[in-house]
Amino acid sequence: MPQLKIGVLISGSGTNLQSLIDNIEKGFINAEISVVISNNENAYGLERARMHNIDAVYINKKKYDSFEKFNDAIIEEMHSHNVDLVVLAGYLKMLSHKFIEIYRNRIMNIHPSLIPSFCGKGYYGLKVHEAAVSYGVKMSGATVHFVDEEADTGPIILQKTVEVDYNDTAEILQRKVLKIEHDLLPLAVKYFCEGNLEVTGRKVKIKELK
């Protein structure tokens, strides 16, 4: 298969972006990150991109008079870089319906819980782990899913679990989950780039690996 081009959206430090960069550079993923875009001018993930000679673009939401026009600017940037797959790696904004329709089943997100638990509106960052610890769950984890029009409701690609110990704080659980995120997201991207994901309704089949 030809090498696919990936566009990554971030809002923060970009540790999941770094995991993608590392796995591409060591040959685990046959793809190229052609652009990294952030809504946060100070996101360290932009610097990570620059250090690896990847185009790093800041798009200021305040310059646009609507949510749709802001998203149109991101779409235009993706198109200009011939992006095949969009990856949300700690991106804290919703996407417009137009964006999702253009890239239907070609937008991946990583979420720090076992969806459908502790997900949706308001569940992001440390808040996810605070909710899991407060609820008293014995297992948590991470989920990679395709993005649809609602928050964290798209078809699930991969999930992995971690144990939640009695004395775990939200911060401890966050560190545990982040470690598996760095394995899970590159694996899902690898499967996509190799043509090994098949979506039927809400179900994602990982086809026989070559």
Residues annotated catalytic, as ranges: 111
| 3-state DSSP assignment of residue 88 | strand
30 contacts 1 by C-beta, under 8 angstroms: yes
CA nearest neighbour of 87 among 105, 108, 106: 108
158 contacts 141 by C-beta, under 8 angstroms: no
Write down the H helix ranges in the chain.
Answer: 15-25, 44-51, 67-80, 97-102, 126-135, 170-193
Helix (H) or strand (E) segment spanning residue 161: strand 156-163
CA nearest neighbour of 155 among 183, 116, 102: 116
